[in-house]
Chain A
Amino acid sequence: MSISTVSGQPASPGRRIRRFMSDYPLVPLIVLLLLLVLVLQTLSPGIVNPRWLGNTVKFAIPLALLAGCQTMVMLTGGIDLSVGTAATMAGFIVATQSVDNPHGVAMAIALIPALVIGFVNGIGVGVFRVHPLIMTLGTSLIGVGCLQVYQRTVISSGTKYPDFLVWLGTGVTWGFPNALVLFIPVAALLIFIQRRTGFGRLLYALGDNERATRLAGVKYWQVILALYMLCSLLAGVVGLLYVGLIKAASLSLAEPLVLPSVAAAVIGGTSIFGGRGGYTGTIVGALILTVLTTLLTILQMPEGARRILFGAIVLLVTAAYLRIIEDR
């Protein structure tokens, strides 16, 4: 509707559409989401009902939260591939530690490795200036190694899932998934941080022009360290939520979420080069990906094709973004 009114303007419609899309990135995203739902409804009539909606939201929430970490890091021009490992460690440790410890203690223990990963990432990227992608890939490999060693020590004790996490992960109240109790405050907090706080502005500033920001007196390493620790902590919380949802702790618990989390942030309009984007788009991006996954499952698309599609989406959207930015 709104797009057609814009393209009706006299002067160069293509340029105006592009202008409109870069000004209001949410509109085309929501249109895309509705289109996907429409396709889904046409392919298998009757699938779209309140129960499906609840399930979609339930599975979109961990992805959206993880993509939230990714959005924050991407704003500074980085990327964090260790979020999957941080989440997996938290999930696996809480499931094994809950056997002997009170649940609150188990959760606290589970979040420690996530914080350590974030700390090491922050030091590597902020102080030593390693490329974030390589640094986080390295820490995630080390993390997986540590988890394997840890698994040996607890292999006989079995696993237990705290009732609270199961309630949070799988429960539904009045048609709404309980995970919203966690998601809404966290999402509000992330959006608040990005839009209203000095820290959020520093993230945008660093991503936009790092040199200028440093010359303006910003301590680069402090911001980056805080960012990566916050990001890993959030990833750890996602791990707790996800293990409650899946109820099967494994060493590759959250790994399948890593690539989609990058894709969700990119689709949501956050530039992988930093300085542009925000969390609201990412949430819609996560919903789009969840619906797309359902669609691909209905079409019986194999896992390989799904990965190809994710890769293609990341590439296409980034290239398109570059064009839009250059255009202005």
Chain B
Amino acid sequence: MSRFLRNNGWVTGLFALLILLFIATKIIQPSYGQGDFTSLVRAVLPYAFAVAAQTVVVIAGGIDLSVAAMMALTSVTAASMMAGASEEYALFVVPFVLAMGLVLGAINGILIVVSRVPDIVVTLATLFILQGAALLVLDAPGGGAAEWLRGLILGTLPIPGLPESITGWIPNALVLLVVALCTVWIPLRRSRLGLSIYAIGSSDLAAFRSGVPVARTKIIAYALAGLFGAMGGLSLTMSTGIGAPIPGPYLLASVAAVVLGGVALGGGRGGLLGPIVAVFVLRLVRTDLTLLAIDPNVTAIVEGSIMVAVVMFGAYITMRSRSS
């Protein structure tokens, strides 16, 4: 019970931090409003999916280094399939790409379970492989995206009966993010499978002895990570309209947000909400730095330093809790 409270306390603290940052943003830039919030959410979208992918795997006691490469591959696949195709064809592309992510993620899991090589090495190898595959699909940024798909994350959601001043703060991108994450996460969290994922992350030996199918659960966890990765890839294609074969900075960002979000890197602890709030915090810091008119390259350094500091802090906490 105390652990439950502490975890919730962490997320509450993060929310407070987020609100403080919003207030700081408003002070730096008094005109910060609905439009800026909409673009913030759009920028967060691929990061949020990358973080979701990483969260599932980390809770299951692993780590997925291939998440950024997975996004690059799914993104170029979607973009090259939709290039020049009809609008209706995209209705087929989206489920296809999602299924592809699921299968590739499952392959990650199967490789780990069958080869018995540590997660970090296997996903490093699949990072190279997926990156290579992305380059084979498209060797330079290109492709296209269906207009209706791009429109999904533009603008805000009009809700009848609510004034524009409120609906303006509910961007479609946020709705899409919440819907996509909830449809996977909530049923998972409430099912036996979700419990198994936490169990194998906490202690796979104990889980095995209590009759949890460890190998199968691990494969499913990686498959779900692949699915979230594919969502991230699709969101990249949706926001840019093209696909780029070079993976973005999503790997380190996802690990940093997972740590900041209160998920223990050892596994078995934490939820999805914390990391998602954490990713908003990290993005908003970037926005603030930009608003303060700091050179974008310096922003990249500051951001990288924050992430490294967060990861160091997380490792330190893990070390402390292990030794005590």
State the A residues within 8 Å of B (CB): 79, 120, 124, 128-131, 133-135, 137-139, 141-142, 144-146, 148-149, 152, 259, 262, 272-273, 302-312, 314-315, 318-319, 322
Contact = CB atoms under 8 A, between A and B. Distances in A.
A232 to B, nearest CB: 16
Interface stretch (B39-47, B148-156, B202-210, B292-300): B292-300
Given A124-B312, A311-B125, A133 B120 contact: yes
A305 B295 contact: no
B300 A148 contact: yes
A129 B317 CA distance: 10
B120 A312 contact: no
Interface in B210-261: 245, 249, 251-252, 255
B194 interface: no
B124 interface: yes
B120 A304 contact: no
Interface string B118-138: 101110111111011111110
B101 to A, nearest CB: 18
Contact of B132 (A128, A139, A308): A308
B316 A129 contact: yes
Considering residues A309, A315, A318, which has the most beta carbons from chain B within 10 angstroms of its beta carbon?
A315
Interface of B: 63, 65, 111, 115-118, 120-122, 124-129, 131-137, 139, 245, 249, 251-252, 255, 265, 295, 297-298, 300-301, 304-305, 307-308, 311-313, 315-316, 318-319
B139 A139 contact: no
B139 A315 contact: no
B63 to A, nearest CB: 8
A145 B312 contact: no
Contact of A141 (B121, B139, B249, B265): B249
A217 to B, nearest CB: 18
Nearest to B134: A304
A133 B251 CA distance: 11
Nearest to A319: B115
Contacts, number: 127
A191 to B, nearest CB: 25
B307 A306 contact: no
Contact of A149 (B122, B128, B139, B295): B295
The 5 closest A-B pairs by CB, nearest first: A311-B128, A307-B132, A304-B135, A308-B132, A304-B136
Contacts of A262: 124
Contacts of A318: 115, 117, 121, 125
12 contacts: A129-B315, A129-B318, A134-B252, A134-B255, A138-B307, A138-B308, A139-B308, A144-B300, A145-B301, A311-B127, A311-B132, A314-B125
B298 A306 contact: no
A309 B128 CA distance: 8
B297 A149 contact: yes
Nearest to A133: B120
A149 B115 CA distance: 43
Given A129-B319, A131-B315, A307 B129 contact: yes
Contacts of B307: 138, 141
A115 to B, nearest CB: 18
Given A272-B121, A311-B126, A128 B315 contact: yes
Contacts of B318: 129
B117 A315 contact: yes
A142 B309 CA distance: 12
B120 A131 contact: yes
A141 B124 contact: no
A221 to B, nearest CB: 12
Given A138-B304, A305-B132, A307-B128, A133 B297 contact: no
Given A128-B312, A149-B295, A322-B115, A308 B128 contact: yes
Nearest to B135: A304
A310 B128 contact: yes
B134 A138 contact: no
B306 to A, nearest CB: 10
A138 B118 CA distance: 21
Considering residues A135, A259, A273, A314, which has the most beta carbons from chain B within 10 angstroms of its beta carbon?
A314
A167 B265 CA distance: 48
